[in-house]
Structure 1
Amino acid sequence: MPNFCRYFDSGGYFFLTVVTYQRQPVLLDPKIRSALKIALKATNQKYPFKIHAWVLLPDHFHAIVELPDALLPQRVSMIKRLTTQGSKFQSAITLTDNERFQRRGKLWQPRYWEHRLTSERRYRILLMYCYTNPVKHRLVECVGDWPYSTFHRDVERGVIPPEWRAISFY
């Protein structure tokens, strides 16, 4: 397996994608959603960060985060670890190995994807990408129909226009 090197300057805005192991569609399960919420709060207490946008889909999530430092890998690792522990996740895919080695199943792919946002334009493009992702994956017809994102919060705060609720690809 390749050994990837990540380089982070101190702080900045990042677009982040984290995917479940073998794209298992388990993230909308209430137990896992609750564990993820708790993991985000615990991670934020140890390594503060601000979530500007968030969308949770069955097998992955996207986020736009603002960091005060270069510790994104530690944050992602802690979120993944605490979510897995908190949900006591058991994967049907890895159950045989889990029984043999007496361990829990894999919830997350070992890696994640991120890139630094260097312009307001790129921020807006990826904000739109976050909020239209459930429509792209045909989970809902319109952006405003998806409950698992910060979309409705951003409309209430005036960050994005209410007209975005009706965005659809159909």
Structure 2
Amino acid sequence: MRYRRANVAGATYFFTVNLADRQSSLLVDHIDALREALRRVRQVHPFGIDAMVVLPDHLHALWTLPLGDADFATRWMLIKAGFSRQIPATEFRSPSRVAKGERGIWQRRYWEHVIRDEEDFARHVEYIHFNPVKHGLVRQPVEWPYSSLHRYVRLGLVGAEWASDGRGEGRFGG
């Protein structure tokens, strides 16, 4: 059975992408490799990053694809492969992965959701920026270094104290 994905050209999508080893910290340990993989893919297959947070074992992203383009799957495949090529091969690989020539760094699947409206967009931005607090990595969202929240603060969209009361909802307009 083939997994069915939403394919809406030019849409904004929310993604959750996980490492295979959920105890790993590869994403933050090798943040520069992830940034480089993203940069290279965006040069060839442009897309906007509306919000993003990178945690030790997974990431959340909100992307807007160009008009007429719905191919986020290729972008994720290239980002995962580009990152993986920069990481030493020390991970466990199942016989299935070995047979397919795959690394064992990423989960094969990821979650995507098409953003429906401004309220849905705002809710997902908040979720992304509050996620490090939710996972107990920091007490305040602004303390997490691998978050687009810092860009939102620089642009004056929110203050540095956003969600400093431990709640991450209802702070962005929608």
Normalised to the residue count of structure 2, the TM-score between the two structures is 0.84
> What letter corresponds to residue 27 of structure 2 in structure 1?
L
After superposition, what is the alpha-carbon deviation per residue over 1:42-95, rounded to whole angstroms, capped at 9, x for unaligned?
Answer: 10011100101110001100011110111100001100010000223421x33x
Return closer, same or farther for 1:104/1:71 CA change in 2, 3 Å cut-off.
Answer: closer
Distance in 2 of aligned mates of 1:77 and 1:24: 22
Structure 2 equivalent of residue 143 of structure 1:
141
Q: Is the 8 A contact 1:55 1:63 kept in 2?
A: yes
* Structure 1: tracts of 5 or more residues without a match: none
Total equivalences in the alignment: 162
Return closer, same or farther for 1:167/1:88 CA change in 2, 3 Å cut-off.
Answer: farther
1:158 aligns with 2:156: yes
Percent identity at matched positions?
Answer: 36
Higher helix fraction: Structure 1 or Structure 2? 1
Q: Is the 8 A contact 1:54 1:64 kept in 2?
A: yes
Distance in 1 of aligned mates of 2:90 and 2:165: 36
Q: Is the 8 A contact 1:88 1:104 kept in 2?
A: no
Q: Is the 8 A contact 2:130 2:163 kept in 1?
A: no
Q: Is the 8 A contact 1:43 1:75 kept in 2?
A: yes
Structure 2 equivalent of residue 28 of structure 1:
28
Structure 1 equivalent of residue 77 of structure 2:
77
After superposition, what is the alpha-carbon deviation per residue over 1:12-33, rounded to whole angstroms, capped at 9, x for unaligned?
Answer: 111011000132422111xx21
* Structure 2: tracts of 5 or more residues without a match: 168-174
Normalised to the residue count of structure 1, the TM-score between the two structures is 0.86
Distance in 2 of aligned mates of 1:152 and 1:109: 28
Return closer, same or farther for 1:86/1:52 CA change in 2, 3 Å cut-off.
Answer: same
Return closer, same or farther for 1:104/1:9 CA change in 2, 3 Å cut-off.
Answer: closer
Structure 1 equivalent of residue 131 of structure 2:
133
Q: CA RMSD in A?
A: 2.1
Distance in 1 of aligned mates of 2:165 and 2:55: 17
1:155 offset after TM fit, Å? 0.8
